[in-house]
Amino acid sequence: MTDEPKQLLHLVFGGELSSPEKAECTDLSKLDIVGIFPNYSEAEAAWRGKAQATVDSAHTRYFIVHLHRFLDPDGDGLLG
């Protein structure tokens, strides 16, 4: 058995939105894929850095996607 924390993958990405009110990108080919992170705290740190760097652009947004919820929706640890 290992004492390592459970891996909970998170994706951070962002881009220019067609409207600040909608999560619809103007050009999917220009998405900024920041990365995939092993836990929420690392994903949040990456998200915060990108969000703060683009704070002057009302149409640019960054998101955190909880990949672990898509990979294991039941939370039972049985992937695939």
What the block records as the tokens of 34 is 């920041």
For 3-40, how does the pLDDT look when each residue is reduced to its tens digit (9 = 90+)?
677 789 999 999 999 988 888 889 999 999 999 999 99
pTM (predicted TM-score): 0.81
Phi-psi region of 64 (alpha: psi -120 to 50; beta: other; left: phi over 0): beta
Hey, where are the domains in the chain? 7-25+34-56
